Structure 1
């Protein structure tokens, strides 16, 4: 029972990381209609920027994550203006090719600036918390709490703020939103800013647990795409629920079977859900 509880918390923490990353990717897909194949590279960049904010600038851990999120939000706006805005009338295939170019560009910049080796980022939350006999890492508790707070804040932003409601309007009907005065270009910039900020927060949270490396975004990219397909393309509730389901399946299978089974469990869950509901948990036939 103690082992199960400990792995349950680990799964929830991993699910929090997956959710933050998947929600950012879902927002971009919902607004622009194409998957950002550079999402894993942006996640990796967020981790390195957080590291520099702590080590080079000397900021406290939490402040470093916040600053990294702001820096990545600005980078997201720049990428949207320079790369994707000029392609706004082009077929979505062109956008996907552009995201591959962005991915290689970001990886090259990171290797040039920080090198190709592994880096370790320390966290002040290095202790452990006792819960019903289980010893839980304080960093994982921080991840769960932060993920819940950020997701609640994002929900408020989308439902209550002007820019958030504009994002939802463009997701539902881009042409109709433009006809009532919503500027799709501004919405795209805000969407990229939010997406990049979310993935930077997730990378900053997980960096003290996993070593930083230029290849750290590759596996996340595949997992996050599996999550948004599982939840239903463009569905935020689907991305959140899918993130936790995938993470729990991965952790439990790795614990009770093997590490290889944990990796396979991700796609077993995906195939099982799609066999019952081909559009995903919250997807619809009309989903773009």
Structure 2
């Protein structure tokens, strides 16, 4: 800490150290906390704690941007609560009702032609000398996301030793506090075996299944940046108020299973427990989130997805923890 730092700066550093001691990276929180410090030091450089005026003034700058305001409110509320536990009783804690209500991002429902065009373009990725094997990683990782509904981080951080292609299963370790084993289809296992064989020649003894180099995975931006690039290349004339994202493959996976079960006459309420475990949800409420969009779109989506559902594995009943 330099001599020019304020009392608020020093408290913020203590708070960040506290978060990291708990094993949290807290990168997003640090970003918003530093933004608050910049605002506070410009408007009240002698402030010793977050005041109501500073917090309200800072949050007012994000009105109209609910996602940003939601993050700001969460971070400043956590910071003030930490200060309260540390003896700073006058730190202003933003009431929960004052925070923005974070509206869910509406998913894009992929049509068969869109998915076909996406993967055709995906398979045309060219080599780049600075990233050996990148042209192999991109088609394989997006097929895994599409077929298994993984979170983007789960696929990106997948360790090599956690993939058993002969046994057709993948172990997802401690994602969102919930480790699990998922089973994959024969078709996907063969795709990943071909990928693994070629990638092992380029980067032998790699730590990650989808490696940036021998010991490191790709960075967080790798999947969304490449998804957007491939989508624009595959569907240059696509127009929609809903911007497709790589995460929407996870929605697609959930609905493909829900549609299949409904068509087979299975009790969807009973099958939700299997879907919850496969997707790595800590509770059934997280799985029920997908029903927010089902009532008005279920039939249309079933018809659109039908041609591609055979590629998406059914959540197995015999899945074990």
- State whether TM-score is above 0.5: no
Structure with the higher helix share, 1 or 2: 1
Structure with the larger RCO, 1 or 2 (CA within 8 Å, 6+ apart): 1
| The structure with more radius of gyration | 2
Give TM-score, length-normalised by structure 1. 0.24
Give TM-score, length-normalised by structure 2. 0.22
